[in-house]
Amino acid sequence: MVNNANWLLPEGVEEILPTEALKLEMLRRKIVDDFTAKEFSLVMPPVMEFVDALLTGTGKELDTQTYKFMDQQSNRMLGIRADITPQVARIDSHYLSNNDVNRLCYTSTVLRAQPAEMGGQREVLQCGVEIFGVSDTSADKEVISAMLETLALANINDVTISLAHVDIYRALVKDSKISEAEEMRLRDVLLRKSTPDLNDLNRQLGQSLLDAFITLIKLQGDATILLKAEAELPKLPAISNAISELDEVVGYIKSAYPKVSVHLDLADVAGYRYYTGIKHSAYIPGRGRTVAKGGRYDHIGAHFGRSRPATGFSADLKTLVKLA
């Protein structure tokens, strides 16, 4: 008697059958061709590495998502990558360090301990680009352009791009002089977009330290909120610079991609410890989660010996094929 359990796959892992596999491979080829035509150099990092290298620096945020096991040859702990960006940062820092600017791309599998969404996949075919060595918004614009054109190659055109800038939140936290514990509570409230909880937290502190954050949580919508932010937020240099950068990127998207809707959420603190500047997420109607996302993560290569500007985006090719 055949044991059907022998045919079961782990939850969040799937087999891709001929028709969809062909679609996936054809899309992968088109995307790689597009990346390389844009002069991004293709890299292929290893699927596993020593954990202390894989989770170095910014990669530590991925610790709980990384599968780990003992290497029988070295008796050191190995990890299967849950994201490719830290590996690409190491390539930039170690192997391509003679270049002032590196523009790299990839399409490879990552494995995560938990899916990003309920019922989602743990094995992801990740594609993306990274630009190292460019500090101005030209790199942010180029990455956003590559992201939108990747979605277009997958026949995903009804796109809304949501923009944020973590420097605004960081400047307000520094200016308010709240404790680390208070900041953690504040960040949780902002992640939940709970104005009542924010008002309660403000009262608990016994002073108006959080008034600026009460303003911040309301600053979401179209490009006009940048004018409100300029008028209503504290006049801090970091905030003024962040608003200026967002305004520049919004103007670029509207000019280059007039059919793309632009949304701003200045209280978006998701990934606050990872991102260092502008962050961007792409959404489509009927789906509550992103279809692609990225942003600036300057200094990601510091632990590899090369701290410098960096920005990029990533998407899951399997998701793109299913949504097309």
Residues of the chain with pLDDT > 70, as a percent, come to 95
Token pair 């997958």: residue = 154
Segment 198-207 shows an average pLDDT of 82
Q: Is the pLDDT of residue 230 over 90?
A: yes
- Looking at residue 5, its pLDDT comes to 60
Closest to 133 measured CA to CA, from 94, 167, 92, 164: 92
Q: Is the pLDDT of residue 157 over 80?
A: yes
Residues of each domain in the chain carrying CATH 3.30.930.10: 13-156+302-324, 160-283
Q: Is the pLDDT of residue 106 over 70?
A: yes
- Looking at residue 53, its pLDDT comes to 81
Residue 79 tokens read as 């990890």
Residue range 13-156+302-324 forms a domain whose CATH class is alpha beta
Q: Is the pLDDT of residue 203 over 90?
A: no
- 70-83 pLDDT, tens digit per residue, is 999 999 999 999 99
- Looking at residue 147, its pLDDT comes to 98
Helix pair angle (166-176, 237-256), 10° resolution: 170
Beta-carbon contacts of 284 under 8 Å, excluding residues fewer than 6 positions away, are 156, 158, 159, 160, 291, 323
Prediction pTM value: 0.93
**What is the spatial distance between Cα 302 and Cα 114, in angstroms, rounded to a whole number?**
28
Q: Is the pLDDT of residue 58 over 70?
A: no
- Looking at residue 208, its pLDDT comes to 67
Q: For the purposes of burial, counting CB atoms within 10 Å of the CB of 108, is it exposed (0-12), middle (13-18) or buried (19 or more)? A: middle
Residue 67 tokens read as 């599968």
- Looking at residue 1, its pLDDT comes to 55
Cα-Cα-Cα-Cα torsion 95, 96, 97, 102, nearest 10 degrees, comes to: -150
Q: Is the pLDDT of residue 7 over 90?
A: no
Helix spans in the chain (H): 18-37, 51-54, 85-90, 137-153, 166-176, 180-192, 195-204, 211-216, 225-232, 237-256, 317-323
- Looking at residue 91, its pLDDT comes to 93
Residue 145 tokens read as 């352009």
Cα-Cα-Cα-Cα torsion 283, 286, 289, 290, nearest 10 degrees, comes to: -20
- Looking at residue 115, its pLDDT comes to 84
Residues of the chain with pLDDT > 90, as a percent, come to 73
- Looking at residue 308, its pLDDT comes to 93
- 265-318 pLDDT, tens digit per residue, is 999 998 888 899 999 999 999 888 999 999 999 988 888 888 899 999 999 999
Confidence band, pLDDT 50/70/90 cuts, at residue 207: low
Dump the DSSP string for 115-126. Answer: -SSTT--SEEEE
Confidence band, pLDDT 50/70/90 cuts, at residue 118: confident
User: What integer best gives the mean pLDDT of the chain?
Assistant: 92
Phi-psi category of residue 302: left, alpha or beta, with phi > 0 → left and psi -120 to 50 → alpha:
alpha
Segment 143-150 shows an average pLDDT of 98
160-283 belongs to which homologous superfamily? Bira Bifunctional Protein; Domain 2 (3.30.930.10)
Confidence band, pLDDT 50/70/90 cuts, at residue 2: low
Count Cβ neighbours within 10 Å for each residue of 38-75 and write b for 16 or more, e otherwise: eebeebebeebbebebbbbbbbeebeebbeeeeeeeee
- Looking at residue 149, its pLDDT comes to 98
Residue 175 tokens read as 């200016």
Beta-carbon contacts of 99 under 8 Å, excluding residues fewer than 6 positions away, are 133
**What is the spatial distance between Cα 41 and Cα 230, in angstroms, rounded to a whole number?**
39
